[in-house]
Amino acid sequence: FCYNNLIKLKSNTSESSMVQNIDMNLILKYDAVDDFKIYNKFQINYINYICNLQKAFSKIKISVQYGLPINIFFNTDDDLLNVRFFLAPKVEDDCDDNNYSDDIEEIFNSMK
């Protein structure tokens, strides 16, 4: 979730939940579309493994689009080492589109 001075990431699993706030002072650049909402589900343990690399890299680029794999790109200040991950979103076959959009709105409203 992108706000004026904050990016907020939220994760829920059956065992726990996590919210991560990223201060805009730590971000070099970001692009967002006003009033555009994307809701994807990803396997949290893979996100955790990938994000552990942030300790070794000075720059991280994350690209998220609905229905597409999340793209996480790490590189060093001197550009000598680059690592890119693509993680596909989870797909739910038994999803009713009408109820699904209501669930998404509830999630977005709970983040405000």
Across the chain, how many H-helices and E-strands are there? 2, 5
* Least confident segment among 39-48, 61-70, 73-82, 93-102: 93-102
- 95 or 37: which carries more pLDDT confidence? 37
User: What are 14-70's pLDDT values in tens digits?
Assistant: 777 777 777 777 777 777 777 777 777 777 788 888 888 888 888 888 888 777 888
Sheet holding 82-87, edge to edge: 59-63, 70-75, 82-87
Is pLDDT at 9 greater than 90 in this prediction? no
User: Which string of b and e fits 24-56 if b means at least 16 CB within 10 Å?
Assistant: eeeeeeeeeeeeeeeeeebeeeebeebbeeeee
pLDDT of residue 98: 46
